[in-house]
Amino acid sequence: MNGRFMFALFLSASIPVCVQAQFLQENPVSSYTGTGAFHPSHADPFSFVLQPAALARAGNLSAGISGERGYGLKELSHYRFVATVPVASGGFGLQGAFSGFPGYSENMFSLGYGRMAGEKLSLGLNFSYQQMRVPGYGAAGILGAEAGVLIQLTKELYSGVRVKNPMAGHYGKDRQEKMPALYAAGFGYAPSSLFYISTEFRKTDKQPVNIALALQYRPLPVVLLRAGMETATSVFQAGAGFQLKQCRLDLFSSFHPQLGITPGLQVLFHFKNKIHEKEQ
């Protein structure tokens, strides 16, 4: 093991164990993949990872896979799969994630559903199961839940709130560890189909408020640019996506002032949806 890997593990161990349980759902690069969650014209299959209410306007059958290597170390790799399935009443979302290495790993699976409650109100729920495993010490698993709401204020402006694990149970040895609750609220503004900006305020138990900023710009029909930052960790994210018919390839990375760069890649697939074609 090199010094940078040991330093990364040391920082992880210095954070309360309850925060570790949020790694798969709320790591900084997930904010990049979830960019566009507030506004339906800029959303993609990963949007419901950060806002389950985005499933209410799922326009097409779609799927995506992403992978990232934490600070360039294979031991801190993280992989995620998502799929959205539109139905007449809204949309379903499926997610699976894996993170870690043979000495420590986390797995997470979730199923979400979103639907419209009127023309301007979207509601969403997401239920998850997360497991942490350490060879020789066993595994611990816990159920989680998240609810989200999106409100269309104007054609260009959407606001949203979400609550994750407000009444989470305990896990671990003697069930002394508790999943932290997360409360978030923000807005997304899209003056056109080419530009989007969003801000979300996030509060996790016993942690300072984290402000997540994101913007998205499409200089060409086949090119997408994204950038963002999170104030709690001073992590910056940036990337570019390249459209090829029904497929999009994104190359992105985040930068941590002490630990360095986390490179990532994601591929998205969009398919025609007969249900929505009939509705249109």
Q: What is the pTM of this model?
A: 0.85
For tokens 């690069």, the residue is 29
**Looking at the domain 3-279, which fold is it?**
Porin (2.40.160)
Q: What residue segments make up the domains of the chain, in order of their start?
A: 3-279
Residue 57: CB atoms within 10 Å = 20
pLDDT of residue 15: 35
Sign of CA pseudo-dihedral 215, 187, 180, 127: negative
Measured CA to CA, the distance from residue 145 to residue 125 in angstroms comes to 7
Which comes out higher in pLDDT, residue 265 or 16?
265
Q: Which residue is listed with tokens 């932290």?
A: 180
What is the rounded average pLDDT for all residues in the chain? Answer: 86
Kindly give the residue spans of alpha helices, DSSP state H, lying in 17-80: 17-20, 23-26, 28-33
Percent of the chain with pLDDT over 90: 62
Q: Please report which confidence band the pLDDT of residue 22 belongs to, taking 50, 70 and 90 as the band edges.
A: very low
Neighbours of 22 (CB within 10 A): 20
pLDDT of residue 2: 54
Q: Which residues touch 213 (CB under 8 Å, ≥6 apart)?
A: 197, 198, 199, 228, 229, 230
The CA distance from 109 to 94, in Å, is 8
Q: Among the residues of the chain, which ranges form H helices?
A: 3-14, 17-20, 23-26, 28-33, 274-279
Query: Looking at residue 167, what DSSP letter applies?
Result: T
Q: How far apart are CA 148 and CA 115, in angstroms?
A: 11
- SS3 state at 221: coil
For residue 229 the two structure tokens come to 């930052």
Q: Would you say 54 and 122 are in contact if contact means Cβ atoms under 8 Å apart?
A: yes
Which of helix, strand or coil describes residue 13? helix
Strands 260-271 and 247-256: antiparallel
pLDDT per residue as tens digits for the range 258-267: 889 999 999 9
Tokens of 1: 């093991």
Per residue in 62-104, pLDDT tens? Answer: 999 999 998 889 888 999 999 999 999 899 999 999 998 888 9
Contact 164, 25 (CB under 8 A): yes
Three-state DSSP at 76 gives: helix
Cα 145 off chain centre by: 14
Residue 203: how many CB atoms within 10 A of its CB? Answer: 15
Residue 112 tokens, joined:
């979400």
* Percent helix, percent strand, percent coil in the chain, to nearest 5: 20, 55, 25
Alpha-carbon separation of residue 224 from 39, 42, 230, 242 (angstroms): 16, 11, 21, 6
